């Protein structure tokens, strides 16, 4: 998998700013986002991702919160990734990975609902309708795909929505069966995706925003070596 890397002039792309709203990650904080309509500029996505933007549906966004910089973009250098002892045990479990087009499926949506009720009961996504879920999966102006994971009995255990970038992959959103305790499915899916990136001769897996003081977001720095984007540069964590 080889993708040509070109440098674009991003100065011509209009950037919009959202209204401030309650931060979904940090109590008593407000969130403001810069965002770009990728429907008009799909060619800019990869370069935006490389400077800390994330994609949701047809939009690329980045937090620009006043007085707060706790949301830090993080990516794993898959070529140099070395699993620790716990991660080696995790990946020994053999799940079946199926690669699918980025199209919403009812079976996936049911697992998504179950995951939200068990892990994020207070979040907006716990109330996401089928139509909104379909938009999250289907509305993509770039090359995206789905990784789904099943056990030997073909039971669905986990799903990742993935964007294909010129220097790797981006894990846009993942969810899994939280009741399965014999294997850490969330961790398994990340390690398996890291291996997929490396096997396809790409370099990075983008994991979104790392937030040190949020237990639901700070797991992302457990995969080494990783890099964080601070003050316009990717630095080794």
- Choose the final residue of a domain: 72, 94, 122: 72
Same domain, 49 and 132: no
Same domain, 40 and 155: no
Same domain, 172 and 83: yes
Long-range CB contact pairs, 78-81, < 8 A, 24+ = 78/168, 78/194, 78/195, 78/197, 78/198, 78/202, 78/203, 78/204, 78/205, 79/198, 79/203, 80/225, 81/194, 81/198, 81/223, 81/224, 81/225
Ranges of residues in the chain with a pLDDT under 50 are 1-3
- Choose the final residue of a domain: 57, 72, 87: 72
Same domain, 53 and 143: no
pTM, 2 dp: 0.94
> Mind listing the pLDDT tens digit for each residue in 159-188?
999 999 999 999 999 999 999 888 999 999
81 within some domain: yes
Same domain, 55 and 98: no
What was the pLDDT predicted at 120? 77
Residues of the domain holding 146 = 74-236
CATH number at residue 157: 3.40.630.30
């Amino acid at each position: 998998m080889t993708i040509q890397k070109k440098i674009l002039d991003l100065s011509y792309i209009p950037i919009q700013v959202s209204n401030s709203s309650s931060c979904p990650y940090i109590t008593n904080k407000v969130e403001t986002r810069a965002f770009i309509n990728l429907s008009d500029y799909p060619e800019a996505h990869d370069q935006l991702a490389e400077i800390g933007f994330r994609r949701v549906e047809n939009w690329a966004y980045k937090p620009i919160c006043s007085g707060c910089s706790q949301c830090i973009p993080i990516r794993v250098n898959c070529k140099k990734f070395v699993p620790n002892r716990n991660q080696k045990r995790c990946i020994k479990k053999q799940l079946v990975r199926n690669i699918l087009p980025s199209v919403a499926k009812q079976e996936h949506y049911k697992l998504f609902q179950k995951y939200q009720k068990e892990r994020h009961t207070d979040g907006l996504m716990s109330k996401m309708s089928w139509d909104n879920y379909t938009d999250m999966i289907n509305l993509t102006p770039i090359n995206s795909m789905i990784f789904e994971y099943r056990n030997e009995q073909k039971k669905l255990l986990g799903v990742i929505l993935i964007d294909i970038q010129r220097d790797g992959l981006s894990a846009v959103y993942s969810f899994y069966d939280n009741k399965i305790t014999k294997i850490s499915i969330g961790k398994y899916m990340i390690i398996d995706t890291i291996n997929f990136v490396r096997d396809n001769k790409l370099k990075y897996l983008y994991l979104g925003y790392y937030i040190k003081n949020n237990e639901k977001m700070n797991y992302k720095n457990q995969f080494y070596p990783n890099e964080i984007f601070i003050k316009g540069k990717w630095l080794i964590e």
